[in-house]
Amino acid sequence: MAADPSSLGIEGEKLPEVAWLRPPALPFGVHLVRASQRVAVVVLRGEVDIHSASQFRDVVAAGIEGGVRAVVVDLSAVSFIDGTGLGVIVLTARRLGPGAVALVLPHRGLVRVFRICGLDRLLAICETREEALCGLLE
């Protein structure tokens, strides 16, 4: 859960947006949850970087090998993602095809990263898991 700027004793306007609109640092974790026979949710937690991206990639690959044809990548509890993590998402989108990958990004700081990279034009960016699933299950 993001820290409320007033609880820090500092006015929210004085803090950079990213400082208080991202989740706290958590240990890395990844798991796959089936939403339907062909749709899965990959839930990530913590920092997705060069050290953890291979685990992320392996979970996605296992889902695809198991018949998944669309993936929601839930980044709600991710505090940081580097180019390696972004690469896993892009490769997943290329492998599954147009419209088969949606992201859950409720934190504006991470949304900004995807916009800067132009990935918001390639992937659906949603605020909630439910919104992302509805878009893929239709």
> Can you give the residue ranges of every domain in the chain?
21-137
Residue 107 to residue 78: CA distance in whole angstroms: 9
Name the average pLDDT for the chain: 86
Torsion of CA 65, 68, 72, 77, to 10 degrees: -40
Greatest Cα pair distance, the chain, in angstroms, is 50
Second-level CATH architecture of 21-137: 2-Layer Sandwich (3.30)
Per-residue burial over 52-83, b if 16 or more Cβ lie within 10 Å, else e, is bbeebbebbeebeeeebebbbbbbbbbbbbee
List pLDDT tens digits, range 10-60: 444 444 444 445 566 789 999 999 999 999 999 999 999 999 999 999 999
Helix (H, G, I), strand (E, B) or coil at 79: strand
pLDDT in tens, 80-93: 999 999 999 999 99
Question: What per-residue confidence (pLDDT) applies to 54?
Answer: 97
